[in-house]
Structure 1
Amino acid sequence: MNGQPAADRDDRATHSNLTCEAIMSDITVLSIEQACKELGLSEPTMRRRAADDPTFPRKIKLSARRVGYLRRDIEAYLAKQREAALAS
């Protein structure tokens, strides 16, 4: 159609879709309930950790009454917690 083989166009389209998926997964926002489940914490315990632990992921204000957490921040926090547990 535009002088390029169909396979090249398909490869670029697939790459573009994968790139978009990677970007979107990098900015996935978890609700408090989802973050609690990922962390294995109750909501009150998670709120205490957020208040007491400066390394705890920062919440993101989504609206006047709703907050969330970036999935990548939760995953990074869990990785650091795991490293600390293995080091001790």
Structure 2
Amino acid sequence: MSVLLNLREAHPALHTHPTPVLPPWPRVVVLPANRSPYGLDLPLDGTATVAVRPYVTAHEQRERRRELALATLGLDTPGPYWIHGLEVA
């Protein structure tokens, strides 16, 4: 019996369970601060911007193109007009 006790003391690794190898923990990912997907969190200054409806500008653009097309044919409409930023009588 003393021989068996000496074997256990001489070889302690015979009776231990193998420890499983654990995968490394994933790194902690730091997420950015929450942002609005629509732009800045600050409200827009209404006095700094000019609100123009697209149908108003489209109407003005059609009038301008019509006047320029008529001017190329020699048909001018009476009154002062702005062509390329210059007032044309």
The structure with more strand, counted as a fraction of residues: 1
TM-score by length of 1: 0.27
Structure showing greater Rg: 2
Greater helix share, 1 or 2?
A: 1
Q: Please, what TM-score do these two structures have when normalized by structure 2?
A: 0.27
Structure with more contact order per residue of length (Cα contacts < 8 Å, sep ≥ 6): 1
